């Protein structure tokens, strides 16, 4: 009888992990103190004034001349003329809070991530992609009532107003948000009792609608009484189970949460009332860059956390702002540090006048790979493309076909628009020169798209 050799178990000594180097904890290093006082016009602004949300709103920059007075020669020569020319061509009007103005590096404005998001400069603009439309997500086509989009079976998007605490260059809703510009006459969605009532009636008449996003515009601009009114009206509809108030406010004017007690109380009351009814009411916000998060933000998010208000974040992937693995990882970890859940990172929508800000599906996939694993899975955002033409949000990896050379990706949305395929297009400036030339020829362009769709059809399930 043979005997098996005895196996001696190998006992490995546990290897002690060295404490992290300080740079690995950079997400906890937040800007504090009177940082705004380096801006000439804010030198004498004390903390109480700077934290006053009404002062922030009143002092927001809407014209180049006011910016010039505010930063008084900090920017390099030529920048102001470049900005003036950029504003004439932009589809969005400009509105930027003193908080954001204070965080911009005006000595190097061309490289600054916050300047890039809010102030257009003509020298960096690129021609629009030939397949681009103003309402690229076709929100108006899916709107049974003005300002109410019903695209997903159980979810609706309610736009009670069309103003925001800032105006972002890359806004998907540039067809409606902000003032008319030289380039665009907008669809206006002003607060209106009758329009709101029709929206509630529609929501109540569709038993499948369980989830309502209240956006805009921006929920920061709703008066406390409006928050209460909308909250009460929607919570009273039996089929509504979940509500999200959407606002960019915490990223651009976090002090409102510290100094507008009525607004925070109104939101907290809707959250508490929802909880008593076993309905979920949360806040969705929109940070794009770690530089937007300061000690003021930490305090503001802490207050919401104490009041039991869950905050989730939706970022947009923007070229020159957060399109590197390092920046996005820092943003995700910093949000987690504040108990804000990184929920989505959107590939930039195909919006008019901001082709310089878009990046490719390939870049999104690359960044996602690096972010995943850097922190807990529940704090890791899903990278999505909001399929132009109304396909809704698709995981960037879920394309039926993607040609990195032509930049054409094709997505299916079986539970949103069964049987249809949706195309997204990488920006032309990231393609090889010979591919860019093909896009310049209408017949070639159509052939590239037709081929991608044909290939996708063969694969779609």
Can you give the binding site for ligand SF4, defined by CB under 6 A? 164, 167-168, 171, 173, 177, 216, 218, 248
Is the N-terminal amide bond of 217 cis, ω within 30° of 0?
yes
Exposed, middle or buried by CB within 10 Å (0-12, 13-18, 19+), for 419? exposed
C-alpha–C-alpha distance, residues 288 and 301, integer Å: 16
Nearer to ligand SF4, 161 or 301 (CB): 161
Other CB atoms within 10 Å distance of the CB of residue 208: 11
Please, what is the minimum distance in Å from the beta carbon of residue 155 to ligand SF4?
18
Nearer to ligand SF4, 315 or 409 (CB): 315
β-pair partners for 243: 212, 281
The residue among 165, 167, 213, 199 whose CA lies nearest residue 186 is 167
Nearer to ligand SF4, 173 or 279 (CB): 173
With tokens 């108990």, the residue in question is: 339
Please, what is the minimum distance in Å from the beta carbon of residue 216 to ligand SF4?
6
Please, what is the minimum distance in Å from the beta carbon of residue 297 to ligand SF4?
16
Please, what is the minimum distance in Å from the beta carbon of residue 248 to ligand SF4?
4
C-alpha–C-alpha distance, residues 319 and 428, integer Å: 13
Residue 405, phi then psi, degrees to nearest 5: -75, -45
Handedness of CA 293, 294, 297, 303 (dihedral sign): positive
Please, what is the minimum distance in Å from the beta carbon of residue 182 to ligand SF4?
18
Nearer to ligand SF4, 91 or 342 (CB): 91
With tokens 């001696």, the residue in question is: 8
Nearer to ligand SF4, 177 or 311 (CB): 177
Go through 157-166 and write b for each residue having 16 or more CB atoms within 10 A of its CB, e for each that does not: bbbbbbbbbb
C-alpha–C-alpha distance, residues 223 and 78, integer Å: 40
C-alpha–C-alpha distance, residues 246 and 255, integer Å: 17
Nearer to ligand SF4, 190 or 437 (CB): 190
Please, what is the minimum distance in Å from the beta carbon of residue 27 to ligand SF4?
24
Please, what is the minimum distance in Å from the beta carbon of residue 251 to ligand SF4?
9
Nearer to ligand SF4, 117 or 329 (CB): 117
């Amino acid at each position: 009888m043979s005997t098996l050799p005895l196996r001696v178990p190998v006992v490995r000594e546990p290897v002690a992990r060295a404490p992290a180097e300080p740079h690995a904890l950079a997400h906890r290093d937040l800007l504090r103190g009177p940082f705004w006082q380096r801006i000439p016009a804010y030198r004498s602004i004390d903390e109480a004034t700077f934290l006053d949300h009404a002062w922030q709103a009143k002092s927001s920059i809407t014209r180049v001349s006011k910016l010039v007075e505010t930063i008084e020669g900090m920017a390099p020569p030529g920048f102001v003329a470049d900005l003036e020319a950029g504003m004439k061509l932009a589809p969005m009007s400009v509105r930027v809070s003193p908080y954001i103005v204070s965080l911009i590096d005006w000595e190097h404005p061309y490289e600054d991530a916050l300047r890039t998001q809010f102030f257009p400069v003509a020298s960096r603009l690129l021609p629009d992609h030939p397949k681009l439309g103003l309402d690229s997500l076709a929100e108006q086509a899916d709107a049974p009532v003005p300002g109410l989009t019903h695209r997903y079976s159980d979810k609706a998007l309610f736009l009670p107003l069309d103003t925001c605490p800032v105006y972002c260059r890359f806004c998907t809703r540039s067809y409606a948000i902000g003032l008319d510009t030289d380039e665009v006459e907008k669809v206006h969605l002003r607060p209106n009792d009758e329009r709101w009532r029709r929206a509630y009636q529609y929501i109540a008449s569709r038993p499948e609608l369980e989830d309502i996003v209240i956006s805009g515009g921006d929920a920061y601009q709703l008066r406390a009484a409006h928050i209460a009114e909308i909250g009460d009206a929607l919570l009273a509809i039996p089929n509504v189970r979940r509500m999200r108030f959407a606002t960019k406010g915490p990223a651009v004017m976090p002090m409102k949460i510290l100094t507008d007690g009525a607004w925070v109380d109104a939101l907290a009351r809707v959250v508490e009332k929802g909880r008593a009814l076993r309905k979920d009411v949360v806040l969705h916000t929109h940070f794009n860059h770690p530089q937007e998060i300061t000690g003021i933000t930490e305090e503001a998010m802490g207050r919401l956390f104490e009041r039991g208000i869950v905050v989730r974040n939706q970022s947009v992937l923007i070229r020159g702002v957060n399109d590197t693995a390092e920046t996005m990882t820092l943003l995700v970890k910093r949000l987690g540090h504040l108990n804000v859940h990184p929920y989505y990172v959107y590939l930039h929508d195909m919006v008019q006048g901001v082709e310089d800000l878009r990046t490719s599906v390939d870049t999104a996939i690359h960044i996602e790979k690096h972010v995943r694993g850097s922190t807990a899975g529940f704090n890791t955002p899903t990278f999505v493309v909001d399929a132009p033409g109304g396909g809704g949000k698709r995981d960037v990896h879920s394309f039926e076909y993607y040609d990195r050379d032509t930049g054409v990706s094709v997505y299916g949305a079986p539970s949103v628009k069964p049987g249809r395929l949706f195309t997204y297009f990488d920006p032309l400036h990231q393609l090889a020169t010979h591919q860019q030339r093909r896009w310049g020829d209408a017949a070639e362009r159509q052939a590239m798209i037709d081929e991608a769709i044909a290939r996708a059809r063969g694969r779609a399930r």
